[in-house]
Structure 1
Amino acid sequence: MRVLVVEDEPILADAVAEWLRREAFAVDVAHRGDEALERLAVNDYDVLVLDRDIPGVHGDEVCRAIAGGDIRILMLTAASGVRDRVAGLGLGADDYLPKPFAFVELSARVHALLRRTRPAAPPVLERAGLRIDPGRREASRDGQPIVLANKEFALLTELVRADGAVVSTEHLLEKVWDENIDPFTNVVRVTMMKLRRRLGDPPIVETVAGVGYRIR
């Protein structure tokens, strides 16, 4: 799952991004509203974490520009009054979190927003003996826990979420890695090799030549 964090305070933006990366999200960061709109135009994000008071293009205008689409919007602001929350939601935000906030609450709200995607995603994903709990960052196969690195966990989540459909390498690059990744890299293949070793036998991830991968 891919998240765009828009926050004009660099230290806070980097801290939020690092926290979400530990939760196996792919995260990009923008410090201005115009930067955010540029990234939103070219990348397929699942959640936008948006500070309301940002330079360039105000956060309200960014929210209005994308509200109603598939991306979920979590608005951040130092203004925590009822009128401010109502105004933020009225702009099209899906959730509203006043500053200061606890990072654990932030990530819980991001996970909750992901469950409200179209179609709605269940809180726990299951297929072919695999069980993935993104909120708790837990994975198991046939009841046995699997210890996964962040990118391995994110990769497996995308495959299980596809429910048997083939997932292309391009889609995995888009959803599991951030905008700094080299589009010609073999990182998907390498990470998939590691994931397959973690999952053990019998093999469960199938390669569809020239197309991508799927859970059998």
Structure 2
Amino acid sequence: MENLKAIIVFLLFWSIAIWCVRVVKRKHKKQIMKFSEELPEMELVTDEEERKYIYQSINGSGKFLTVLIVFVFLFNLWIMADEMKIIWKQWMNGLELDFWTFSGFGIMDWIIAEYLSTKIERKRICESGVVKKKIVHIKSYEKFDYGWPEGVIDGKERELRIDLSPDAEKPFKQDGDMAMLVWLENGENSLLPRMKPKDESNVGEE
């Protein structure tokens, strides 16, 4: 009876968790698509080198961190498989702790899988999908006690605030507060430093 209760609670927990994640993802997608409609008119990025620069700038983390995250993901899968073996062997001795241990590692792997999926999707878009850009002027920088700083730019009808990476103001200020506004077909948008021409120091297109 105790095992049956543990299984019911386990399945109920995961059902609610999956439902909540799907609702949040749908809502987030609607929000970013609505925000994309307010961005200024942009041009398609067709240059291969520019697409590569955009991907590397947006992705942020290097290969070492990605390999480390994949290792943690696989290690968690191994732990989860081991937990399932314990659950199978100790079926009659109470399963609540084992179920919650399994759930903990499952949630961690879920988060890692979403992170890796985002990186793969960005790579696909930057290689063969729709990427747009526009050189914009950052009117001001907004800083908060929590979260990342934001750059304020002019949109179609109002000012827009777009996240910057921590301590990212310096390269923009060195370029006269000019930036490359980038939009990906999945609705993601970023403010990046302008790509340096091969034969110039830091001169971008106007």
TM over 0.5: no
Provide the TM-score with structure 1 as the length reference: 0.23
Higher strand share: 1
Higher helix share: 2
Larger Rg: 2
